[in-house]
């Protein structure tokens, strides 16, 4: 394949540097981006905001060549281009600075800067001098001889940015650059972005922190459910209008049914779980909340808000901090699980968000997967496997959860997303939980199965179980929950009743 030529014909000033026209992207029939039009001007900072799943990541992945669009065209300085891979993006001058940097930790800063661009004979001293001069020209206080693993997050980002600038990037994409930065580091980053803007480098800035988007960007684009909602000057937005654009819905409301009927809110039963001052590094920070029997407690939060990690600590999947990591009380008794099985035996079951990775054994049959749940429960007969029991169990749960499969010997991988999820749920329910935590229960699930899963979750609460639903999708939280907890920066920051929980109120709590 020949190297794509870089368009260098002079353009009138109004021609956007980078343009996406009617770009769509589908993953196995599910639309992640729907005929998006997007323009990036020369020397502007353009923020892209939206909820989780709005399509921000897909958009920038297309621009950085990680995925190919299903339809539409991309133009650079007016010329149509094909970004067939990350290398092509780099040659076009499009660089991506990831939240988790893509540097090699064991190499030095200088080696990382010139990675993939080494000469036949590399003189390390010369590389260091060159890197030093280059970093100084950018005013980055980074030692080129330091290994990347010894650097803090901000300095790693500086190296990543320096690499982008060294490759003559005309467009730099920042994906959640401030999520792990201290205020001072953030200030440095914003100064740098400002300088790049002055040097006519165009910046795409993705952030959940709306204040940052409003502060630093010239224009803001709002995406929702994979569709372009609005693009306008940052000055024309306020935090409230941005939130309104982000959460206003049409399709999702239809998908998830109408909002909760507030007259049918389930009253709380006994306090089943009390999480007190739970901490795990800087991911879960001194969080406290309670879970009650006979209710669906919805936990909403943006990616990185520590919801999943908190649930995984409760379920014994990961461990809290060794020193003063807080307390988890199940029915008033302090518990600390070394393995998930200990939690299962006590009646706590966690239904993972990553069903393919952690939820089922894809080469095993439906029956075997359901039986695996039984084996790890308190009702297990140890190492004795009863084929009869396995078949009976599979038949019972296939019927109860309406799992659509030819027979219980079918491999789980052959089922649709919704039915796979039902198998994961069956595997959890067979363990007779008292507290069940669903993490993103309908992610990647077909529309028909969503309603079935929601009904099943509601009926579990009706039976008196304590049910927790973690979701990044507001309509799901609003339609299911009898009580809503909002998580931000590693802790539960707000509790709302269904009457108070408007989309705006929940989102406001999640981003402030």
Partner 1 sequence: MNQLTRAIDSWFGRGEASITIPPMDGAFRPNDHLDLAASNLEAPAPDCLAVTTQGVIVSSDRSLLRVDKPHGAEIASFDMAISALTGLPDGGAAVGLVDGRIVFVGGERGGTTLAKNPDIACITALTPASDGALLVANGSATNGPAAWKRDLMEKNASGSVWRIDRQGRASCLAGDLAYPYGLLEDAGSLVVSESWRCALTRISSSADGRKEPVLENLPAYPSRLSRADDMTIWLALFAPRSQLVEFVLSENGYRARMIREIDADYWVAPCLRSGLTPLEPTQQGGVKQLGVLKPWSPSRSYGLVARLDPAFRPTASLHSRANGRRHGVTSCLMVDKRLFFAAKGDGIVASRTYEGLAS
CB of 332 to partner 1, least distance (A): 6
User: Phi/psi zone of residue 304: left (φ > 0), alpha (ψ -120 to 50 degrees), beta?
Assistant: left
The DSSP string of 399-417 is HHTT---S-TTSBGGGS-H
Query: 35 or 274, CB closer to partner 1?
Result: 274
Residue with tokens 């491999």: 411
The C-alpha atoms of residue 96 and residue 157 are separated, in whole angstroms, by 11
Give me 145's structure tokens: 């001889």
CB of 302 to partner 1, least distance (A): 14
User: In sequence order, which residues have a C-beta less than 8 Å from that of residue 272 and are 6 or more positions away?
Assistant: 291, 292, 293, 330, 331, 434, 435, 466
Query: 311 or 450, CB closer to partner 1?
Result: 311
CB of 75 to partner 1, least distance (A): 36
The C-alpha atoms of residue 156 and residue 150 are separated, in whole angstroms, by 9
Query: 78 or 268, CB closer to partner 1?
Result: 268
CB of 258 to partner 1, least distance (A): 23
For the purposes of burial, counting CB atoms within 10 Å of the CB of 119, is it exposed (0-12), middle (13-18) or buried (19 or more)?
A: exposed
- List contacts with partner 1 (CB under 8 A): 178, 181-183, 186, 209, 211-212, 268, 270-271, 274-277, 288-290, 292, 322-327, 329, 332, 334, 336, 483, 485, 489, 492, 495, 497, 499, 512
Query: 64 or 279, CB closer to partner 1?
Result: 279
Query: 273 or 351, CB closer to partner 1?
Result: 273
The C-alpha atoms of residue 321 and residue 343 are separated, in whole angstroms, by 18
The C-alpha atoms of residue 10 and residue 187 are separated, in whole angstroms, by 35
* Sign of the alpha-carbon torsion through 142, 202, 25, 451: positive
CB of 186 to partner 1, least distance (A): 6
CB of 121 to partner 1, least distance (A): 45
CB of 179 to partner 1, least distance (A): 10
Query: 41 or 285, CB closer to partner 1?
Result: 285
Query: 16 or 294, CB closer to partner 1?
Result: 294
């Amino acid at each position: 394949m020949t190297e794509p030529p870089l368009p260098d014909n002079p353009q009138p000033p109004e021609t956007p540097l980078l343009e996406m026209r009617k770009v769509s992207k589908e993953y196995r029939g599910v639309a992640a981006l729907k005929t998006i039009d997007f323009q990036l001007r020369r020397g502007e900072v353009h923020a892209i905001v939206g909820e989780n799943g709005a399509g921000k990541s897909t958009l920038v992945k297309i621009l950085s060549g990680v995925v190919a669009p299903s339809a539409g065209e991309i133009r650079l300085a007016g010329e149509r281009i094909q970004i067939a891979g990350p290398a092509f993006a780099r040659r076009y001058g499009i660089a991506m600075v990831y939240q988790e940097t893509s540097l090699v930790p064991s190499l030095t800063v200088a080696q990382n800067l010139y990675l993939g661009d080494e000469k036949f004979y590399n003189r390390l001293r010369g590389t260091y001098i060159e890197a030093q001069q280059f970093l100084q020209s950018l005013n980055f206080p980074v030692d080129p001889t330091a290994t990347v693993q010894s650097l803090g997050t901000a300095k790693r980002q500086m190296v990543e940015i320096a690499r982008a600038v060294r490759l003559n990037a005309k467009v730099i994409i920042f994906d959640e650059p401030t999520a792990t930065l201290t205020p001072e580091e953030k200030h440095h980053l914003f100064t740098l972005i400002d300088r790049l803007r002055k040097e006519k480098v165009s910046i795409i800035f993705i952030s959940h922190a709306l204040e940052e988007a409003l502060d630093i960007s010239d224009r803001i684009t709002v995406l929702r459910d994979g569709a372009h909602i609005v693009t306008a000057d940052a000055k024309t937005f306020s935090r409230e209008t941005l939130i309104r654009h982000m959460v206003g819905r049409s399709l999702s409301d239809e998908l998830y049914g109408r909002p909760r009927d507030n007259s049918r809110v389930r009253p709380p039963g006994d306090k089943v779980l009390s999480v007190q001052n739970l901490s795990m590094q800087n991911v879960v920070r001194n969080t406290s909340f309670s879970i009650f029997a006979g209710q669906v407690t919805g936990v909403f939060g943006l990616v990185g808000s520590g919801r999943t990690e908190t649930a995984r600590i409760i379920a014994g999947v990961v461990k809290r901090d060794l020193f003063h990591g807080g307390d988890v009380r199940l029915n008033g008794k302090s518990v600390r699980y070394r393995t998930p099985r200990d939690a299962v035996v006590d009646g706590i079951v966690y239904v993972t968000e990553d069903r393919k990775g952690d939820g089922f054994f894809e080469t095993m049959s439906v029956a075997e997967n359901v039986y695996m749940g039984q084996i790890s429960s308190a009702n297990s007969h140890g190492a004795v496997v009863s084929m009869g029991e396995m078949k009976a169990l599979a038949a019972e749960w296939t019927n109860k959860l309406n799992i659509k499969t030819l027979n219980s010997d079918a491999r789980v991988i052959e089922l649709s997303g919704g039915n796979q999820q039902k198998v994961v749920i069956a595997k959890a329910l067979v363990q007779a939980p008292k507290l069940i935590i669903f993490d993103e229960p309908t992610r990647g699930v077909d529309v028909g199965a969503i309603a079935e899963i929601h009904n099943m979750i509601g009926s579990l609460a009706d039976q008196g179980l304590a049910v927790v639903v973690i979701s990044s999708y507001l309509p799901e939280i609003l339609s299911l929950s009898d009580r809503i907890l909002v998580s931000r920066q590693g802790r539960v920051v707000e509790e709302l009743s269904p009457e108070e929980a408007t989309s705006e109120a929940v989102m406001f709590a999640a981003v402030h």
